[in-house]
Structure 1
Amino acid sequence: MTEATLLISSKNYSSWSLRGFLLAKISGITFKEERVSPDDPRAKEELLMRTSSILVPCLLHGDISIWDTIAIAEYLNEKFPEVGMLPRDPHARARCRSISGEMHSGFAALRSSLPMNLRFRKPGFTVWSSAQADIDRITSIWRDCLSTWKGPFLFGRMPTIADCMYAPVVTRFQSYDVNVGPLCQEYCNTILSWSPMKEWISEAKEEPQEIIELDLDF
């Protein structure tokens, strides 16, 4: 099968690039990465979290170009149905699609108040009430899935599209010292110890600082 190219932006700041990378990893597709320059003004907007997706991630596969994260997930699931990117059980599959879509289109307060920055640590960070409402919703989703499908991932033993969608949230919770309770913290630990995540984070730490750090001390 033709090797794919995944267009990404900064590994330190770009949560959507991370999602695309994880989706490609769990699908098993052979791919190479190509970075979109953060000097591109549209890419910089994505890095500064003003929108969910502009240029990246974008999966190029043969003569096909897929630039929306959910579209990438559905494309890869269709190409590699045997992998189980979506759960096989209809109930679990419907829930996986629902919570993935919710992550894709929602949680604006969390995005703006707690942007992804893998080099950042802020013990005792004060979370605003609007962002806390998003955190409460996310942890409720996690607890429900982990209790129903018994972990360690949201839908059981293997990672799915939903885990790829929520993985950047785990890094935000770590960066901003968010207390999520024992069950959700165990899930966070699972995501942070997941080998594609460790690979991404390691490379993010080696990445040169190419945009001005956001002032996060509100």
Structure 2
Amino acid sequence: MAKTVLTISSKNYSSWSLRGWLLCKIAKLEFEERRLSIDDAGARAELLLLSPSFRTPALDHDGLHVWDTLAIAEYLAEICPKAGIFPLARAARSHNRSVSGEMHSGFANLRSALPMNIKAEFPNFRVWSGAKPDIERIAQIFRECLDQYGGPFLFGAKPTVADAMFAPVCSRFATYHVALDSDSAGYRDHILRWAPMVEWADEAKVEPDEMEELDVEF
């Protein structure tokens, strides 16, 4: 069998790569990482939010090539049915797909105003007013899921697709010191202490600073 490879871009800047990587971790899939160079046009388009369709992360498994985070999630749910990628109960599963899809296709103002940057910290950052409704909606999702499913993850005791989708937002909230209600802040902190997130963040912090020019372009 061909080896399993997950293609990603920057660990410091790429929220989509993080999502795909977390999904593979939740699925307990053994894989190799392939890192795209910042000189790759597709990687730059993703990181600068210039492309409507990102080709990273991409998963190569069993002779198949799967890209887009939600496609990867559905694929992993098929090949790793015992991993709990989605909740077992139909109602919870549909809810999970709905909030994951909302994250996947929405919150453009948040993405633009608060780009992912794990290495950075901006304690006095003034959030652009256009991003505030996105922040409020995400906090609402956090509260509703935690209340309905009991936490500490969005859909209960174990991480699912929804947590992989919202984990980069938790990182953004920490980077820019976004004020949150106590429940949402508690979820943010739980995600940032989650072992795969700690592993990713540690590697992001030692990533070479080869992308300084992106600070201006963001």
Give the superposition deviation at 1:195. 0.5
| Partner-residue secondary structure (3-state), 1:99 | helix
Q: CA–CA distance in 1 between the matches of 2:160 and 2:53?
A: 21
Q: Percent of aligned positions with the same letter in both sequences?
A: 52
Give the superposition deviation at 1:215. 4.1
* Cα-to-partner distance string for 1:41-61 (whole Å, 9 max, x where unaligned): 221111123346523100001
Query: Retained in 1: the 8 A contact 2:7–2:59?
Result: yes
The residue that corresponds to 1:214 in the other structure is 215
**Structure 2: runs of 5 or more not aligned:** none
Give the superposition deviation at 1:63. 1.3
The residue that corresponds to 1:194 in the other structure is 194
Q: CA–CA distance in 2 between the matches of 1:100 and 1:74?
A: 12
Q: CA–CA distance in 1 between the matches of 2:214 and 2:189?
A: 26
Letter in 2 for 1:119: K
Q: CA–CA distance in 1 between the matches of 2:51 and 2:194?
A: 27
Query: Retained in 2: the 8 A contact 1:3–1:29?
Result: no
* Cα-to-partner distance string for 1:36-88 (whole Å, 9 max, x where unaligned): 11101221111123346523100001210001110000000011111111011
| Partner-residue secondary structure (3-state), 2:210 | coil
The residue that corresponds to 2:60 in the other structure is 60
Query: Retained in 1: the 8 A contact 2:48–2:214?
Result: no
Letter in 1 for 2:109: A
| Inter-CA distance 202–53: structure 2 relative to 1 (3 Å threshold) | farther
The residue that corresponds to 1:153 in the other structure is 153
Count of equivalent residues: 217
Query: Retained in 2: the 8 A contact 1:50–1:112?
Result: no
TM-score by length of 1: 0.96
Query: Retained in 2: the 8 A contact 1:52–1:104?
Result: no
Question: C-alpha root-mean-square deviation of aligned residues, in Å?
Answer: 1.5
Q: Does 2:77 correspond to 1:77?
A: yes
| Partner-residue secondary structure (3-state), 1:66 | strand
**Structure 1: runs of 5 or more not aligned:** none
Q: CA–CA distance in 1 between the matches of 2:182 and 2:51?
A: 32
